[in-house]
Amino acid sequence: MCGIFAVYNYQGDINAFRQRALFLSKNRGAQVYVPFNAWNRHSRIRHRGPDWSGCIVADNSILSHERLAIVGVDSGAQPLTNEDGTLVLSVNGEIYNHKHLRNNLKHDYNFKTHSDCEYEEHGADFINLLDGMFSFVLLDTKRNRVIAARDAIGITTLYYGWASTSPETVYFASELKALNEECDKILSFPPGHVYDSDSAEPKTRRWFEPTWWDESRIPTADVDYKHLRESLERAVRKRLMSEVPYGVLLSGGLDSSLIASIAARETEKIAQELKKKLQNGNGNGSPDEDDLIDESAPASWPRLHSFSVGLPGSPDLLAAREVAKHLRTIHHEYTFTVQEGLDAVADVVHHLETYDVTTIRASTPMYLLSRKIKAMGVKMVLSGEGADEILGGYLYFHYAPTPEELHKETVSRVKNLHTSDCLRANKSTMAWGLEARVPFLDKAFLEVAMNIDPRLKMSHKGRIEKYVLRKAFDTSDDPSARPYLPDKVLWRQKEQFSDGVGYSWIDSLKSSSLQVVSDAKFEKAAERWPLDTPLSKEAYWYREIFEQWFPQNACTESVVRWIPREDWGCSSDPSGRAQKIHEAAYEKPAEQ
């Protein structure tokens, strides 16, 4: 991934604005957050792309780019232009089917790079052909037209904004902090949408229209365990596209462990296929799957590395150690202290650009781990976000009153992943120039998993959450099969990441907020913030930090908080431990 900043239709001297644009893409200057040294400087979006910077001025627009080189490392600097300079493109993301798209173009092109972001043929409808995670801004100088888009679920981050003094100008950026000093209206660019300056109002329209999007349409399909398993395996295989060292985030929970298991198998498989092709003198050929998948990574990184983080002795560290031993990964285990976590909270809020309690709790360990991973020279990791939303995996789903209500909740949670888990995975890692890829949010896998009858996703009568996913990877009925995971990991109860890193982490956040926020301040919370009023001292603390980093009202309006389903009888605390079902002990259930 990378960082992008663009200004379209600037009303003024665009060449004079160039230095300002570079500044907005690079540094935020003397920081706002007062407890720190005022001379400290924090990156706006350069942390997202530490490998190279680019900037192009065209007519009254400007595109700036901060690059993290993962594919096409020796080339691919951005912004990209076509041969006559009439198209200018700045992209954040990865296009997994780029080779397939190149090989199926109707005309010959003189490609300037080996990257996955260079296309010119299909017009605005090309977005539907892309398989990957992406945000981009494309400028057509012939027509003074700009097209911007964001991937289907919002795995990558993108914002756009306007200044009331110049409403004709549109600003785009990967992060809020590049816009907050220029714009008094800032919106999170909606996932699965495209903005086209040539369109009639509204200029932003949805391009992603899957079969499962309508919450009122309740699926009735039975689960095909083989199809479900193979869809996820293929999603992981796609995401091994890389020319740099990569690994997997391994918490020891079901989701990350399955991704690690599949990645380990696929890495071995691809390495064997490449070796066989080289022996047959066909080192430059394509695999049986044609050119749909770029298999460059395992050739230079043939054994999987796994990474876990937690407080000493935490549940996740112990479980991850067992999974890594089973998978024979090269495992890296990092511990942090409660104080180190508390010291990082202000920076985490700065990078995440949210005050949502759940997101900050989980992001802090991920933020600390990402720094360790990047220090090893690793630039890309696979992660397990999305499975709980897709398959009803959170413990509060046990309280879903009906299958229909469960399905509506899963659709709603997937639609809003860009405000929570996707935001966390993207910004916690990209704070250090590390890219996270999320196989569970593959469009093809979503089509399979979101169309399963919700009765089969219900957690009831002793059935553990995400039963269908566990069953799809359960090989216990075939003694000759190689197990994906140890049985006690495959059937381990859900442990939310912020809990699994060590129970004292959340407990310490709560106790610290009691020291920071006085009773008198908290009593006036509604007076200070009549909209989206914090409901706890911990929430108040994060809101206060956020406001010190981002005092503009436009920034606050871009934040979405997740509130547990109290109408289902759930605790208002988003921690999994706050749910009574957390204490339940499960045995591997019989199929129902």
* Phi, psi for residue 142 in degrees, rounded to 5: -65, -40
The residues, ordered by sequence, that sit 6+ positions from 534 with a Cβ below 8 Å of its Cβ are 355, 522, 525, 540, 542, 543
Is residue 439 a contact partner of residue 232, using CB atoms and an 8 Å limit? yes
What's the CA gap between 400 and 574, in Å, rounded? 16
Helix H, strand E, coil C: the string for 192-221 is CEEEECCCCCCCEEECCCCCCCCCCCCCCE
Tell whether omega for the bond before 202 is within 30 degrees of 0, i.e. cis. Answer: yes
Active site residue 2: yes
Establish whether 576 is an annotated binding residue. no
What's the CA gap between 313 and 332, in Å, rounded? 15
Establish whether 383 is an annotated binding residue. yes
Is residue 353 a contact partner of residue 555, using CB atoms and an 8 Å limit? yes
Q: Which residues pair with 246 in a beta bridge?
A: 380
Q: What b/e sequence results for 215-227 when a residue is b if at least 16 CB atoms lie within 10 Å of its CB, and e otherwise?
A: eeebbeeebeeee
Establish whether 384 is an annotated binding residue. yes
Establish whether 391 is an annotated binding residue. no
Which of 2, 55, 422, 570 is labelled catalytic?
A: 2
- Cα dist. 130→67, 100, 150, 453 in Å? 20, 10, 11, 28
The residues, ordered by sequence, that sit 6+ positions from 59 with a Cβ below 8 Å of its Cβ are 14, 141, 144
Establish whether 309 is an annotated binding residue. yes
Structure tokens that stand for 39 in this block: 């001379």
Pairing of strands 193-196, 185-188: unpaired
Q: Specify binding-site residues.
A: 116, 249, 309, 383-384
Binding residue ranges for ATP:
249, 309, 383-384
* Catalytic sites, residue numbers: 2
Instruction: Point out the annotated binding site for L-glutamine.
Output: 116
